[in-house]
Amino acid sequence: MDPFQILGVSPRASWEEIRRAYLRKVKSLHPDRGGDREAYLALQEAYETLRRACERRRRVQVLRERPRGGEYLLSFVELTVREVALGTERWIRVPDTPGPCEYCEGLGLDPYGRFRVCEWCQGTGLLPEEGGRYHQLCPRCQGEGRIFLELCPRCRGKGEIRREKEFLIVIPPGVREGDLLFLPRSPEGPVTDVFLEVFIKRDDRFYFEGQDLVCQVQVPFWKAALGGYIRVETLEGEEEIEIPRGLPGGSRLVIRQRGPFRPDGGRGDLILQFEIWFPEEYPPEALRLLERLNHIMEESYGRTTSSRQ
């Protein structure tokens, strides 16, 4: 079973979220409090699996080119602009060596399905040794006395089950679209070299411009006219900034060293790109005031401003 599902967290959950989910669930599932024992054990195991994976968390190498030859696993990882700018951690799941199927004990046959009585031992599971005093296990049915006729539904007759391993990887800031995150094979790590190609999720507000990050900010026209404080989205969350009276559309405000982290540890800039926003509908009162404002302004500035400097 999937450890994330058992804990009820997303596969993107941080270690703190996993720990909180565990502590919440472990109380209600504890057998001493009337919880279900099976579910309790499954929860413990899921938590342990992720805790160990978390201790093994590893920083990936960032490569620009695909490996040539050799056996490896190629997958992809999708990152948000913010994750790219600040760096992030991500759970990944890779195939592990197959393990024996516990349901059929590796036989590949369904031990609860149809069967026929073994014709060698007539169902006793034993064959007489020569002389008749001792018995040996029937080699035809391995002592079961019966021959199972249906394939194991869990492993589909293979006798082994595919397994997966979870890893928490540390992705440094500054990766680019198409970069490859490399996690080498190791006894503690994945059984084969893993390469993850980076995709950057499209974002309506943020985009990269060289080493810097541009954030598009929509300013309502009345706010642009009057100036004052507006809330903007930065990499660290929402913040209030002051804009001047008469903010021109298309203008920019550069916030130094608040942009993406670079691989060398420094930071680019965050550039706020202002656009003037007009609502589609107005409250009737606002529309009346706007018409009145238009009238007043026309008296001061004339009907058109297109020819004025």
Q: Does 51 bind Zn ion (CB under 5 A)?
A: no
Using CB under 5 A as the binding rule, whether residue 120 contacts Zn ion is answered as yes
What's the full length of the chain, in residues?
Answer: 309
In whole angstroms, the minimum distance from the beta carbon of 145 to Zn ion comes to 6
For residue 302, which amino acid is it? G
Residue among 6, 7, 60, 141 that touches Zn ion (CB under 5 A): 141
Which position among 29, 60, 81, 155 is part of the footprint of Zn ion (CB under 5 A)? 155
CA nearest to 200, candidates 182, 169, 218, 174: 174
Q: Are 149 and 63 in contact (CB under 8 A)?
A: no
Q: Is 271 in the site for Zn ion (CB under 5 A)?
A: no
For position 118 contacting Zn ion by CB under 5 A, the verdict is yes
Closer residue to Zn ion, CB minimum distance, 144 or 179:
144
- Minimum CB separation of residue 108 from Zn ion in Å reads 6
Nearer to Zn ion, 72 or 103 (CB): 103
Instruction: Find tokens 């996993």 and name the residue.
Output: 18
Task: Indicate the DSSP class of residue 267.
Answer: B
* Residue 198 is a binding residue for Zn ion (CB under 5 A): no
The letter for the amino acid at 52 is: R
Indicate the residue among 48 and 119 with the shorter CB distance to Zn ion. 119
- DSSP assignment string, 203-233: -SSEEEETTEEEEEEEEEHHHHHH-EEEEEE
Q: Return the residues of window 94-113 that contact Zn ion according to CB under 5 A.
A: 101, 103-104
User: What's the min distance (Å) between Cβ of 154 and Zn ion?
Assistant: 5
Stretch that binds Zn ion, among 33-41, 90-98, 133-141, 257-265 (CB under 5 A): 133-141
- What residue type is 2 in one-letter code? D
| CA neighbours closer than 13 Å in the CB half-sphere of residue 109 | 14
Q: Half-sphere exposure (CA, 13 Å, Cβ side) for 296? A: 6
Site size toward Zn ion (CB under 5 A) is: 12
Contact region with Zn ion (CB under 5 A), list: 118-126, 213-221, 271-279, 294-302: 118-126
Residue 125 is encoded by which pair of tokens? 């599971």
User: Which one, 129 or 291, has the nearer CB to Zn ion?
Assistant: 129
Residue 194, token pair as written in the block: 């893993």
Distance of CA 182 to the CA centre of its chain: 17
The residue from 53, 81, 84, 152 that contacts Zn ion (CB under 5 A) is: 152
Q: Which spans in the chain are helix H? A: 3-7, 15-29, 37-55, 81-86, 221-226, 284-301
Q: How far is the CB of 106 from Zn ion (least distance, A)?
A: 7
By beta-carbon proximity to Zn ion, the closer residue of 6 and 104 is 104
Tell which residue, 147, 84, 90, has the closest CA to residue 119: 147
- In angstroms, rounded to a whole number, what is the distance separating the alpha carbons of residues 239 and 251? 19
What is the Cα–Cα distance from 196 to 61, expressed in whole angstroms? 10
- Of 75-83, 146-154, 165-173, 178-186, the segment contacting Zn ion by CB under 5 A is 146-154
For residue 165, state whether it binds Zn ion (rule: CB under 5 A).
no
Positions in the binding site for Zn ion (CB under 5 A): 101, 103-104, 118, 120-121, 138, 140-141, 152, 154-155
